[in-house]
Structure 1
Amino acid sequence: MDTSAPTALNAITAIQPGKALVHRDAGEAFFAELTPGHRLRATVQNLLPNGEFVVMLGAFAGRDGHEVQVKLPAGFRPGDMINLIFVSREPRPAFMLAPDVPQPAGNSASLSGTGRFIHDLMQHPPLPGSSTALSSTVPLLAAPPSDAAQLLQLAQGLARAMARSGLFYESHQAQWITGKRPLAELMLEPQARLAPLPELPFASNGSPLSVEARDPSASQKDSVRLPGVHPEAVALVRQQLEVFETRHIGWQGELWPGQRLAWEAVEEKPGESGERDPGSGPVWKTRLNLSLPNLGPITASLRLDSGGVDVQLTVKEPGTASIMRTGAVPLMHGLESAGLRLVSMGVDVDDKTPSA
């Protein structure tokens, strides 16, 4: 049979039903130790009358091997050795059938199961239309803010948009487990609203078919097949990995109807802005691009560290620059009320400032 590419196996049919209760308990403990991406060697033991196979999963982490009953593609025989990639344990344990990959001579380095899983995911191109920046089609406020309370609502709205984006879902799960985040908030994130995966369909020859993640407008060549990732979450998982790797995040949307904002934040690399105290903590830079009705296009760049915040404003009109400089003192007081110290503030005029 062709083993040149991973093949999705159906969820395990049974964990040897009919065995003693202690054996079933051992099976539950065996799968409890597995994490998505973990690879196991297994031996095909025998073929059952219903066409399924009994397979002995190899021992790992001090645990003895375990027998399971699975559906395999046609062509396997008792005694065959196979490689399996663990995908998930719910609603039943499921694996991918992986090909044998020879190691290059003299190369002893190897990736962990999780490392290989992430590597395989990142090899796929982004789905058509996906973006590294978050976006929203719903304005954060129904109308322009008229007082400090509404300005606070605007900041809280942006914070909610980020929190509910799904980028931080796993850390929010940890907060929920420790009682620091209510379940109702967790259920507002995309991962909590994913439809249950259907049982894997089988072709006429008995081989299982992969579940595909596909953009409705994409062609067949744009389909993405990934083990262990819900088809509807492929773009989001890639985005999570890219944010973790680049330490860069962005958001685009409307603050109120007709008022657009492009916002981004990035963690400063060590040594990027000269020497700094290693114990001072991370330094973040953030930038906002927007075009206000009376002030025109404005770019606000902020640098935040343990010492305070540096603000640099770039505007298109000299009159706007004068207004901004006049507002330095109120800005300083506003930052101080939020627990931040204004270290410096500069206003530049640049007629090439982009419109938001």
Structure 2
Amino acid sequence: MLPRELVSTVGPITPGRPAEQLADPRQQALQRALAPQLGKALHGEVLAKLTDGSFVVKVADIPTRMLLPPGARVGADVPLTLVAVQPRPTFQIGTGTPVFSEAGPPLPEGADPAKAPLLMREGATAAGVGRAAALLQAAAAGAASLAGGAESRHTTLSRTGQAIGGVLAAAAKAETPQTAALGRTPVVAAASLDAASIAQGLQQAVGKSGLFYESHVAEWAQGARALADLNAEPQQQAAREGQRPLPTDPATAQFINLQLATQEQAHLSWQGNLWPGQPMQLEVRREVDEEQEGQGEGEEAAARAWHSRLRLTFPGLGDVDARLTLVGGALQLRVSASEDSAALLRHNQPSLAGALDAAGTPLAAFEVRSTGEPDKGKP
């Protein structure tokens, strides 16, 4: 028999609610289509109003379905800023007091909106997720206020939400958006073919770029990172020089926005000099199959795909654009170069494959095209 005090705490059973299907292919396609617009000020064209009160809004030539504040009309132009892509695309509506709304793909033709409600996500917990979670919390709070009808006009955001909204608004005012972390010193001191030195230099360049400063501070507080490592990052250097950049300063806001985008999209962009006088652009993106996320650490690592893009201009080879995909320890490589350089790369493919095999990374696919040829591969 159960103890009396345990029985007395049992409450009534409430009906189960269907789980939100975040892995819906149409939702994933919408997220991929909107991802390049993250942090940008956009204009939404209201195309239609559905029977459940939601609207079909065209943003960057992409139709979406979202809730709008009271008074929205078909044909109106709505100023929007995309502030998040995951777990759902989230827009800041207007330029005044921040109001946020999540977006989904339009309903299939003939679907009943009443049977497919546009779900609004409740406030997220900021613990352990940092700035990105705080952004989602602010966005969700604003989205929830949309459902309150006229009362939403008197809804106020938390200090965190207001701070994030102010940063995003300041970032949108910058004439030239910052899309990559900038390297202040060359990756290696001189031209080199030493892959280990270049890899170590890139690791230090990205690690000291300031993109991950807050997480590094947390590691330092736990004794897992030396203070000397923090002193090499721009935020710490500014603090030591007595500078206190304001979050609403366009340059500071741009960098914070870049931090949020890096965290949100698992997409890192860096540009600087590989060695003195040799500019380089690097992009790294992690892709994880959502169906594999619940598996063990080893199984998830095997399912993880890393996409990288490396762009350089060499004196002899000219422009070289290399795209690499690493899946399960195997490398897929696609290179775009001038016609002469492309022929040279094809000729040396066996040497490359042999070197990769010796390093334990087999070459699973290799494609070289001349600049100007259509690229049929995945971007």
What TM-score do the two structures reach when normalised by structure 2?
0.49
User: 1:128-167 to 2 correspondence within 5 Å?
Assistant: 128=175, 131-145=178-192, 147-148=193-194, 151-167=195-211
Answering whether residue 373 of structure 2 is matched by residue 335 of structure 1, we say no
Say if 1:184 and 1:120 are closer, same or farther in 2 by CA, change over 3 A.
same
Distance in 2, Cα, partners of 1:283 & 1:111: 38
Q: 2:234 is matched with which residue? A: 190
- In structure 1, C-alpha distance between the alignment counterparts of 2:330 and 2:227, rounded to whole Å: 35
**What runs of 5+ residues in structure 2 fail to find an aligned partner?**
1-95, 98-129, 132-147, 294-299, 375-379
Q: Which residue number corresponds to residue 334 of structure 2?
A: 312
Question: Residue in 2 aligned with 1:289?
Answer: 311
Larger RCO, structure (CA 8 Å, separation 6 or more): 1
Amino acid at match of 1:189: E
Per the alignment, residue 325 of structure 1 pairs with: 346
CA contact (8 A) 1:191 1:233 kept: no
Correspondence 1:1-356 to 2 at 5 A: 104-105=149-150, 113-124=159-170, 125=172, 127-128=174-175, 131-145=178-192, 147-148=193-194, 151-195=195-239, 213=246, 225=248, 233-268=252-287, 279=300, 280-317=302-339, 319-336=340-357, 338-351=359-372
Q: 1:234 to 1:194 in 2, by over 3 A?
A: farther
Larger gyration radius, structure 1 or structure 2? 1
SS in 2 for 1:302: strand
- In 2, the alpha carbon distance for the partners of 1:347 and 1:238 equals 35
- Alpha-carbon distance between aligned partners in 1 of 2:289 and 2:157, rounded to the nearest angstrom: 27
**Counterpart-to-counterpart distance in 2, 1:130 and 1:195:** 24
Q: Is the 8 A contact 1:309 1:342 kept in 2?
A: yes
Paired with 1:236 and 1:166, the residues of 2 have a C-alpha distance of 9
Amino acid at match of 2:164: I
1:307 & 1:139 partners in 2: Cα distance?
29
1:164 offset after TM fit, Å? Answer: 0.5
CA distance in 2, matches of 1:261, 1:129: 20
TM-score after normalising by structure 1: 0.52
Q: CA deviation at 1:290?
A: 1.3
Shift of 1:232: 7.5
Structure 2 partner of 1:20: none
| Distance 1:294-1:118 versus aligned 2 partners, 3 A rule | same
Q: Is the 8 A contact 1:194 1:232 kept in 2?
A: no
Q: Which amino acid aligns with 2:220?
A: W
CA contact (8 A) 2:213 2:235 kept: yes
Q: CA RMSD in A?
A: 3.9
**Equivalents in 1 of 2:316, 2:239: separation in Å?**
46
Aligned amino acid, residue 335 of structure 1: L
Contact 1:316-1:352 within 8 A present in 2 as well: no
The structure with the largest helix share of the pair is 2
**Cα deviations by residue, 1:82-129 (Å, 9 ceiling, x for unpaired):** xxxxxxxxxxxxxxxxxxxxx754669986654443233223225455
Partners of 2:241 and 2:254 in 1: CA distance: 17
Q: CA deviation at 1:167?
A: 0.4
Q: CA deviation at 1:252?
A: 1.8
Give 1:327 deviation, angstroms: 2.8
**Structure 1 residue identity aligned to 2:336:** T
Distance 1:139 1:257 in 2: 6
Residues 336 and 187 of structure 1: CA distance in aligned 2, closer, same or farther (over 3 Å): farther
The one-letter code sitting in structure 2 at the alignment partner of 1:348 is R
**Partner SS state of residue 179, structure 1:** coil
State the Cα distance separating 1:270 from its structure 2 match: 5.2
Q: Deviations over 1:191-244 (max 9, x none)?
A: 21233899xxxxxxxxxxxx984xxxxxxxxxx748xxxx97433222211222
